[in-house]
Amino acid sequence: MHHAWITVATAADRADRPAVGRRTALKTAIALGVGMSLPRSTALGQDDEQAALRPKAGDWLVKVGDAGLTPLTPEDIPVAAQQTMAWAMDPRTGIVRSGSRLNRVVLLRFDPDTLAASTRARAAGGVVAYTAICTHNGCEITDWLGDEQTLSCPCHSTRFDAKNGARVLDGPAPRPLPALPLVLAEGKLVVSRSFTARVGFELA
Amino acid sequence: MFAQRNTWRVLSIAAAALALTTAPGPGQQPPQPPPAAPVPTILLQYKAVTAERLKRPEDSDWLMIRRTYDGWGYSPLSRITTGNVARLQPAWVFSTGALNGHEAPAIVNNGVMFVSTPGNQVIALDAKTGSLLWRYRRPLPEDAVVLHPTTRGVAVYGDKVFLAANECVLVALDARTGMEVWTTKVEDNSQGYYMTLAPLVADGKVIVGASGGEFGVRGFVAAYDPETGAPIWKTYTVPAPGEPGSETWPRGEQWKTGGAPVWVTGNYDPETNLMYWGTGNGGPWMGDQRPGDNLYTASTVAIDAATGQIKGHHQYQPNESWDWDEVSPPILVDFRRNGRTIKGLIDVARDGYLWFLERTEGPIKFIEGVPYVAQNVFTGLDPKTGRPDIDPTRKPGTARPASFCPSHWGGKNWPPIAFSPRTRMIYIPANENLCAAIVGRQIEYMPGAPFTGATTTISLAPGADHIGEVQAWNVDTGRRVWTHKYAKSQTWGPMLATAGGLVFTGGTNDRKFRAFHAETGKVLWEFPTNSGITGQPSSFMVDGTQYVAVQSGWGIDSRAMQARLNTLMPGDYPEVPEGGAIWVFAVR
């Protein structure tokens, strides 16, 4: 099934591409009476800028494709299983930061005792967050190898150790996936700091 | 601004003086850019590329990626020979300043060289000296979708140079200045369309396709007016309901996300005005999620250059499920078979088979198919149509893993073969002994999001003693003549054959560029460059000297395969240094 907002993607030039889905998502949120304060009149250009910004401290996380914009909690993330794709969302404005593919994050949940110390320090309720964008050629890290408990890139098969800073286990990626530190606030997953390193790869 | 200038004054009187003379003040004009440098003489005398020259290029030129429309990758120059190639030395080298895979050839028109590199860059050089003439760089959006950041070359026509920019914008440059003449948006990059191929100029049009088989794109080939960039026709490689082939997409609207991307340039037959383009995998990757043969995925499609109409096709594997993109187009060679000469197409497919086909005014006919590497998926071919019988245990599906050989990278990936009319042989960069396993999972389409639904791992075939090979096959007998095995490397090396009885290629992880004896396969010369070579070699002549040019710049899939092999054979396949350079060699 396709979510309603999918159809709003336009053929506009990339430079001024609107945040895919955000506007309709907002309308959906309003229609559903989602309990958050939404500004009545926000300049569209400012919205687009906000949607393209990297996740910020205080942002909530919502599942990619969730028209209801339900803030994610640790319980929403399956333990030691396939990653959940998510966007950050500014809880004050309801703007989902889906305006850049570089903002897409993967969420995984583990028993905190199995996490490396530095990774555990960035985790919330056992949930760790990393960029979904591979540091090799920018593919999205969609694969989970359950047998070996590793993240894997479908394009060129780099495997990352999600329990230990997303270090490269093998494959062509030259560096780990930047992490997005989290904390818990009122049970919700909340971004505590910006990405630990630049997201993306060297285009040239 | 003023604060900054004051700081400068404190720091350095000289700097302050400079700032005061160049910074705008009230009522002053803003600084002007320096005047453009005069156009070098070699460019003032630039020789326009006509349709006739593209059909019958001078021996000294290399005007399109494979030099000629038939895709041979063959130079008729013969001053570099089996006898003197041992004295081949660098004439000059030029650093591109770019990372990632450098896959483009040096295009040479009457002593002017054009090279494209990753990062939307085109460099124009004096082909004899390596002196820079101009440099074009097109900034890429930070979040551009370019999962394979490369370019496979530019096209030249008239007084223009055409670049298929990564973010799916077609660019025409003035060959004399490197300035943009026009740009045309080809497709929406945010939906997963990106371009890495070289444009094809045929029938007075500039023609491209797009990558994006990872995103559920709907593949296409599209033609534009070289003077203005105006679109002329666009032909989808997945038919809409009611169009021929649409019956192979029985389920709903799956054709809209059916894949069949086009990311390697097609070849062309001026006699029939038909182009032969290759297509990639279906979307999503697992065939059991898109029932039907799914035309025209994993096919060669014959397209009329005048109208864009599809006049014929050959599908290599119906309901593609192995990630065997068959984008590398067949070359056009007339070969002998069973006492007759066949106007032929020869395709060295990613599926591990060497296909001999017949081209006509339209339909493509099957002649013969033989494996050139170990292949355990096809149990046989229909003798009339070439349609393979598939071993169902070797076909991956949703939650149904299967292992198969060759791997998803194929017996040969995109790097083009070469053909020498002197030896009557084709030269194949093959990877033997690599196998893969794929397991699929159900996936839903979301625009701009990955639409593969498959996880791939690779393995070595039992008893594997090598991987990379160069194979030579006689096209008239359909038999293999020689094989060179690389002891400790795969190959990602495009091929060049020359009338001097030589075959040139790189592609190995030892950074070497090599010359083989075209008849015997003996290595006659080799040279270690800065990086690994995945560029298409070309040959040209200036002032009576024959040169061989190639870009060295390892990356993307060659890097990925190297890393996977280092996991299978720890320590044997260390990281290859990266960073691009253009090398030009001559006999001294």
- Over residues A44-93, the pLDDT tens digits come to 567 888 999 999 999 999 999 999 999 999 999 999 999 999 999 999 99
Sequence-separated (6 or more) residues with CB below 8 Å from residue B330? B71, B267, B276, B278, B300, B345, B346, B347, B355, B357
Of A13, A17, A156, the CB nearest to B557: A156
**Does B142 sit within 8 Å of A136, measured CB to CB?**
no
Q: Assess whether pLDDT exceeds 50 at residue B4.
A: no
Sequence-separated (6 or more) residues with CB below 8 Å from residue B586? B80, B88, B89, B91, B545, B546, B547, B548
Mean pLDDT over each residue of chain B, to the nearest integer: 94
Tell me what pLDDT residue A91 has. 96
How far is residue B368's CA from residue B365's CA, in Å, rounded to a whole number? 10
Contacts of B98 in chain A (CB under 8 A): 204
Tell me what pLDDT residue B28 has. 60
Of B144, B456, B560, the CB nearest to A14: B144
The single residue of B323, B325, B347, B351 carrying the catalytic annotation is B323
Tell me what pLDDT residue B538 has. 98
* Lowest-pLDDT range of A151-155, B20-24, B303-307: B20-24
Tell me what pLDDT residue B295 has. 98
Which residues share a beta bridge with B440? B398, B454
**Does B557 sit within 8 Å of A204, measured CB to CB?**
no
Q: Assess whether pLDDT exceeds 60 at residue B10.
A: no
Tell me what pLDDT residue B387 has. 98
Query: For tokens 């190898």, what's the residue?
Result: A145
| Residue B79 DSSP label | S
Sequential DSSP letters for B147-165: SS------EEEBTEEEEEE
Distance from CA of A203 to the nearest CA of B (A): 6
**B4-31 average pLDDT score:** 44
How far is residue B201's CA from residue B180's CA, in Å, rounded to a whole number? 18
Counting runs of H as helices and runs of E as strands, what totals does chain B give? 5, 38
**Does A100 sit within 8 Å of B142, measured CB to CB?**
yes
Tell me what pLDDT residue B275 has. 98
How far is residue B573's CA from residue B210's CA, in Å, rounded to a whole number? 32
Confidence of residue B37 (pLDDT cuts 50, 70, 90): confident
Contacts of B195 in chain A (CB under 8 A): none
Tell me what pLDDT residue B17 has. 39
Tell me what pLDDT residue B27 has. 53
Contacts of B140 in chain A (CB under 8 A): 203-204
Q: Which two tokens stand for residue B566?
A: 């280092």
Contacts of A172 in chain B (CB under 8 A): 559-560, 562-563
How far is residue B125's CA from residue B121's CA, in Å, rounded to a whole number? 13
How far is residue B466's CA from residue B508's CA, in Å, rounded to a whole number? 12
Contacts of B188 in chain A (CB under 8 A): 9-11, 14
Phi, psi angle pair for B66, to nearest 5°: -105, 15
> Does residue B313 contact residue B295 with C-beta atoms inside 8 Å?
yes
Nearest chain A residue to B565 by CA distance is A171
**B248-252 average pLDDT score:** 97
Tell me what pLDDT residue B151 has. 98
Model pTM above 0.95: no
Of B573, B552, B580, B581, give the one whose Cα is nearest residue B493.
B552
Nearest chain B residue to A21 by CA distance is B447
Looking at this protein, which amino acid is placed at residue B467?
I
Q: Which two tokens stand for residue B88?
A: 């081949």
How far is residue B110's CA from residue B116's CA, in Å, rounded to a whole number? 18
Tell me what pLDDT residue B358 has. 98
How far is residue B64's CA from residue B59's CA, in Å, rounded to a whole number? 13
The gap from C-alpha B350 to its chain's centroid, in whole angstroms, comes to 14
Of B514, B543, B523, B536, give the one whose Cα is nearest residue B582.
B536
* Inter-chain CB pairs, A–B, below 8 Å: 118
Tell me what pLDDT residue B510 has. 98
Separation in Å, CA B463 to CA A164, B467, B482: 35, 11, 21
Q: Which is more confident, B21 or A120?
A: A120
**Does B455 sit within 8 Å of A143, measured CB to CB?**
yes
Report the percent of chain B where pLDDT is more than 70. Answer: 95
Tell me, yes or no, if A84 comes closer than 8 A to chain B by beta carbon: no
**B341-345 average pLDDT score:** 98
Of B121, B143, B557, the CB nearest to A204: B121
How far is residue A106's CA from residue A82's CA, in Å, rounded to a whole number? 10
Confidence of residue B493 (pLDDT cuts 50, 70, 90): very high
Q: Assess whether pLDDT exceeds 50 at residue B512.
A: yes
Nearest chain A residue to B190 by CA distance is A14
Tell me what pLDDT residue B31 has. 74
The gap from C-alpha A201 to its chain's centroid, in whole angstroms, comes to 17
How far is residue B60's CA from residue B127's CA, in Å, rounded to a whole number? 12
Looking at this protein, which amino acid is placed at residue B566?
N
Contacts of A161 in chain B (CB under 8 A): none
Tell me what pLDDT residue B20 has. 40
Q: Assess whether pLDDT exceeds 50 at residue A12.
A: no
Separation in Å, CA B483 to CA A66, A88, B118, B431, B479: 55, 55, 32, 12, 12
Candidates A142, A149, A160: best to mutate against B (most CBs of B within 10 A) is A142
Tell me what pLDDT residue B8 has. 36
* Lowest-pLDDT range of A46-60, A103-117, B424-438: A46-60
Of B198, B158, B170, B174, give the one whose Cα is nearest residue B51.
B158
